[in-house]
Amino acid sequence: MSDIISIGIIFLAALTHAFLQLGLGSLLLLYHASLGKHVQEKTKTLVSSFISGFGMIVLLAVAASCFIIYSVFDGHSLPVELLSALIGIIFAVAIIMWAFYYRRGKTTELWIPKTIARFISSRARVTNSNTEAFSLGLLACFAEFPLSFALVVIAANSILELNIVERNIALVGYILITILPLVIARFCIRRGKTVVDIQRWREKNKTFLRIISGILFLVLGTFLIAYRLIGIPL
Amino acid sequence: MKEVVFSKDNLEKEILKDAKSINLAPGFAATISKKVSNAVEHKVNKLSTITNNDLERIVTAELKKYSADLAYIYHNRDKII
């Protein structure tokens, strides 16, 4: 039963992480810049490298969190005090999602520092090699770390509660769910959709995405309180 | 508001890049970029100073006459993230 709770937490954390928008926005910027100057084949490899970079930093972040928790707490789970603090952060991020994350108006701009947004935009414009695209993926994921940090640590804590085989499956599952929106965008563009189509969809459904993101953070926080802090039996 | 120096060649290149990124036919894209940059140049020459926002607004309005998608991507190119 404890495994089911752990898997539920990992799934919820990954799904919540997948709803963060900086990765998808950066991918669209890269697509737009690259399609304007390269042939489609080159763009495809650049985008694949971007997704690999994004997935790699998620893998490293979750694996490093697992290692730190395992080492610091001698193979035990996070203490209740730390878990409570993380739950607090998750509720705070839920409010940020609703109130600040998306800028007001008819735009998909995010409430990230302008300098970071400009730096990512300029890097996307000059990205010509797979290494640069890979690095851009790393950067896009890393730039959103203040919001995804708590999710990664919570997921790592739950991964450690599984057996060794399940740990690897859960880690791969977390990464796959997190990069799913990027893979879907790549697939859509491959099937003939343009950056404009995806961007218009994002703009049209901005409120929906905002509400869902906030709700997912709230649900995860409540789930953690119910099954980890209070310890309601399943 | 930042004052800018208008360059017809740069605008043409920018429009061609944007058009290529949304799969517009090359011939159609070349025609649009020429027509739009000529029209924008004509309007800009009438103004004593021009800001980034003015230029963006004029180009977007001109692009809208030929392709809504192209106008959209030009207008939103720095507003994705």
Helices (H), ranges, chain A: 2-18, 22-37, 40-72, 80-96, 114-126, 130-143, 145-159, 164-190, 195-204, 206-224
Q: Which pLDDT belongs to residue B70?
A: 93
CB contact under 8 A, A35 and B81: no
Give contacts of A 96-125 with B, CB under 8 A.
107-110, 112, 117, 120-121
**B69 lies within 8 A of chain A by CB:** yes
- Per-residue pLDDT reduced to its tens digit, A71-105: 999 888 899 999 999 999 999 999 999 998 888 88
The segments of chain A whose pLDDT lies below 50 read none
The residue among A38, A115, A195 with the most chain B CBs within 10 A of its CB, best to mutate, is A195
| B64 near A CB under 8 A | no
Q: What is the pLDDT of residue B2?
A: 64
Q: Specify whether the CB–CB gap between A5 and A219 falls below 8 A.
A: no
- Residue B26: domain span: 8-76
Residue B41: how many CA atoms within 13 Å on its side-chain side? Answer: 12
CB-nearest to B81 from A31, A36, A109 is A109
Q: Is B18 on the interface with A (CB under 8 A)?
A: yes
Q: How far apart are CA B20 and CA B29, in angstroms?
A: 8
User: Least CB-CB distance to A36: which of B18, B69, B76?
Assistant: B18
Name the DSSP class of A78: P
Q: Is B12 on the interface with A (CB under 8 A)?
A: no
**CB within 8 Å: A25 and B81:** yes
Does the beta-carbon distance from A33 to B21 stay under 8 Å?
yes
Burial call B14-39: b when 16+ CB within 10 Å, e when fewer: bbbbbbbbbbbeeeebeebbeebbeb
Q: Is residue B81 part of a domain?
A: no
- pLDDT tens, position by position, B3-49: 677 888 999 999 999 999 888 999 999 999 999 999 999 998 888 88
| Residue B15 counted as domain residue | yes
Which domain does A102 fall in, by range?
2-230
| pLDDT score at B48 | 83
pLDDT at A231: 81
* Least Cα separation, residue B17 to chain A (angstroms): 4
- The distance of A167 to chain B (nearest Cα, Å) reads 34
pLDDT at B53: 86
Number of domains in chain B: 1
Nearest chain B CA: its distance from A206 CA (Å): 12
Q: How many domains does chain A have?
A: 1
Q: How many contacts, defined by CB atoms under 8 Å, are there between A and B?
A: 58
